[in-house]
Structure 1
Amino acid sequence: MKTINQYIFVMLSFFLLVSCNNDGDTAVLSGFGAGELKASVTDIVLTNELNGNLVLSLAWNTAEPVVSPSDKYGTAADLVTNILQFSTESNFATIKEFTETNSAKSFIGSALNSLALNMGAKAGQPITLYARLKSVLGGNVEPEYSNVVSLNITPFEKAFYLYMPKANNYTDFSNKLCSREGDGKYEGYVEAAQWDNFKFSTEASMTTGTVFGSAPNSLYSLDSSSDQWNIWFDEGGYFLVKANTNTLTWSKTAITSFCVTGEFNGWSLSDDPMTYDSTTKKWSVTCNISTVLYGIQIIGNQNWDFKYGDNDATGELSAGESIAIAQTGVYTITMDLSDPTKYTYTITKN
């Protein structure tokens, strides 16, 4: 660490500056100066898997002010306030501050992700945050600032999961639901066999987070107490599973079909059914789309209230929308509902 070379001498006022002993000594403060700030890393790509991991440490050294004569007055280090500042601008025109009592600050993934998003970053896009240490010694002394550290951070859209480990060993956390809004309402698509037993867990672990089973004698009521039972599927198949940790309930809807419909097949709910592949976890169908007016939609369970589309042509499905088709032709349409954070599709012209 860099040695503080410059000392600023000030007379103590208020509780700090002016003080004389019986022998006429004058108390003088020295050693107050700028600190040096260092970062453990400067380029950080955040992911949901790093939520609980340590991803950044900022450490600094600051001078320890001494009141002379030190044999009578000792040090005044506790009179210095250190404030860690962050800004998206190198001139620190706008800042976010953390008052620190230690000589370091650490961030886990979720905390740094929240900081970046709160300061205007967009998920998946890198942002530069500038960090510096502001040291303050009373209102009558100008603050000192450390060097500036530039941090390149790529945040992510945080996903809140509810995992579904099977009861045979509670170690398989591959099935999970997602709360995209973080509001305690979760959903996801799951393939299950009849009498598959499982529980819900807020972490990919049975020893951390909250584990929900079913309430005794009430299959669709969630219970986090020690009295909980396993949850199970009383039928096998492919399901849209929803859970609400606010109302402590869950539900399943058996999916009997997905079909592609549009003007090309008279808006039929059965003429172009999709086929599910358990290995790839994808639905697919090949259609001869002879007219492209109004686009197409993907309909579940032959129910118009259960439809997906993509008005913005992002490749991500949204409820109640349509998918535009540029020209007529034979297309293979594939839908992937295996990732509860987003449902996706592809359209390939044959």
Structure 2
Amino acid sequence: MKKFSIFLLTIIAFVGFTSCEHDDDVVFVAQPDVDGIMFLNATAESYTLTSQTSGNIAERFVWNEVDFDAPTTITYELQGSSEAGFSTFDIIGTTGENNMAVKVSQMMALATAAGLDNDPDTDMPNTGEIFFRVRAYAGTDGSNGLNTTSEVMSITVVLPETVEEGPAALPMIYVTGNFATASGYDADWSPEAGVPLAASAEGKTDYEGFIYMNVDQPMYKFLPTNTGWDGDYGDAGDSDGSYTETLKQDGEVNAGTPDGTGGYFYVKANTEALTYSLKETNWGVIGNATPTGWDSDTDMTYDPATKIWSVTLDLTKQDAPDNGIKFRANDEWALNIGDTGADGTMEFNGENISVPEDGNYTITLDLSNPRMYTYTLTKN
């Protein structure tokens, strides 16, 4: 009986061993999430592309996160093309995040490839479409076959000038510091990722722009270029984080904010007068087209991923310049923006903005491109 039992156990062990060997050959293939990938960001009706603003961000594309049901990193590849069929395309960039900024210069390159660069003998703007899509794949090189691609997004672009013969870009300086990563910018203390401020014209030194500093104690410097640290400006104070509103190049310290805390700031700097200032701003919409009229603002919300302020509310039909809406900061008129001439480009103390008809609207305010501030009114 003992011999029989031992023989039986030996057979069971052998069967179990061969079963394990068989199991090792089973391959499980993960499939892409059935919902796929799609763009989530709203887009403007059209994008005006000029060499003057070529270094600015034209749009920040945002998409949903993808789950391949596999223990691996996900890479997103933003692609741009001059044609809807994407027989050829440019890779704008790759990222592990669910958003990516596209500069005016990158859109201009696609527009030129689409044949939209103007005839220098005409003054008419050239309008057409360029196209974007995003591809998500498992891993870092896309070689394992797990991938999904979004539907194509088309956007309308306007070239009001000949690309090769456009006006010179506005002079720029750049701000970099410890706030960048936490605030939706690319990298801390990086000249290449510096946030631009623009002067009013060639030969001017009156730089301005808006910067989000989402850290407890922001510190930063101003750079003449975004290629290195040569000639950087800091504060003339005694210690890092000083805010004396005086710029200094030699023996300077890292500049700070008026009360030492973070926020969304209107930043001005003059490299000839050696002065600078920061004013914290929170933006809202006001006007007789809004539910509260001219009596109070409807607050907007800032999204660090898109660099855009937005609000959704009911509006009534009103015609500018006497009626409509405006944007203003901090519930006061000291800093307000309108649209003189209704050309989609905003000016401080500009005219009211018309509302074409009654309805529920999503309103956006984009202050991320210095001196090229824009807005949208989209009826839902």
Distance in 1 (alpha carbons) for counterparts of 2:170 and 2:119: 19
Contact 1:263 1:296 in 2 (8 A): yes
Which structure has the highest helix share of the two? 2
1:194-218 per-residue CA deviation (whole Å, 9 max, x = no partner) reads 322211011112245x311111336
Residue 187 (1) aligns with residue 208 (2): yes
Distance in 2 (alpha carbons) for counterparts of 1:279 and 1:152: 29
Residue 201 (1) aligns with residue 223 (2): yes
Distance of aligned partners of 1:171 and 1:185 in 2 relative to their CA distance in 1, 3 Å threshold: closer
Distance in 2 (alpha carbons) for counterparts of 1:278 and 1:48: 21
Distance in 2 (alpha carbons) for counterparts of 1:326 and 1:49: 31
- Counterpart in the other structure of 1:261: 287
Residue 223 (1) aligns with residue 216 (2): no
Among 284, 308, 326, which residue is 2:356 paired with? 326
Among 319, 329, 346, which residue is 2:376 paired with? 346
- Three-state SS of the structure 2 residue aligned to 1:262 is coil
- Counterpart in the other structure of 1:127: 120
Question: Match for 2:314: what amino acid?
Answer: N
1:119-169 per-residue CA deviation (whole Å, 9 max, x = no partner) reads xxxxx96536xxxxxxxxxxxxxxxxxxxxxx9933135211110122654
Residue 336 (1) aligns with residue 366 (2): yes
- Aligned residue pairs, count: 208
Compute the RMSD of aligned alpha carbons: 2.7
Q: Displacement, 1:236?
A: 0.7
Structure 2, unaligned runs of 5 or more: 1-49, 56-116, 122-161, 179-187
Contact 1:259 1:302 in 2 (8 A): no
1:303-347 per-residue CA deviation (whole Å, 9 max, x = no partner) reads 123211113222111111211122222211111111114001111
Residue 174 (1) aligns with residue 194 (2): yes
1:4-51 per-residue CA deviation (whole Å, 9 max, x = no partner) reads xxxxxxxxxxxxxxxxxxxxxxxxxxxxxxxxxxxxxxxxx967779x
Contact 1:126 1:154 in 2 (8 A): no
Contact 2:326 2:338 in 1 (8 A): yes
Contact 1:300 1:306 in 2 (8 A): yes
Distance of aligned partners of 1:335 and 1:268 in 2 relative to their CA distance in 1, 3 Å threshold: same
Distance in 1 (alpha carbons) for counterparts of 2:282 and 2:256: 19
Report the TM-score when normalising by structure 1.
0.54
- Three-state SS of the structure 2 residue aligned to 1:153 is helix
Which stretch shows the higher mean deviation, 151-160 or 187-196? 151-160
Distance of aligned partners of 1:262 and 1:152 in 2 relative to their CA distance in 1, 3 Å threshold: closer
**Pairs within 5 Å for 1:21-40:** none
Larger radius of gyration: 1
Structure 1, unaligned runs of 5 or more: 1-44, 51-123, 129-150
**Pairs within 5 Å for 1:304-319:** 304-319=333-348
- Counterpart in the other structure of 2:181: none
- Counterpart in the other structure of 2:169: 158
Identity fraction in percent? 30
4+ residue runs over 6 A deviation: 47-50
Contact 2:191 2:223 in 1 (8 A): no
- Three-state SS of the structure 1 residue aligned to 2:211 is strand
Report the TM-score when normalising by structure 2.
0.50
Q: Displacement, 1:186?
A: 0.9
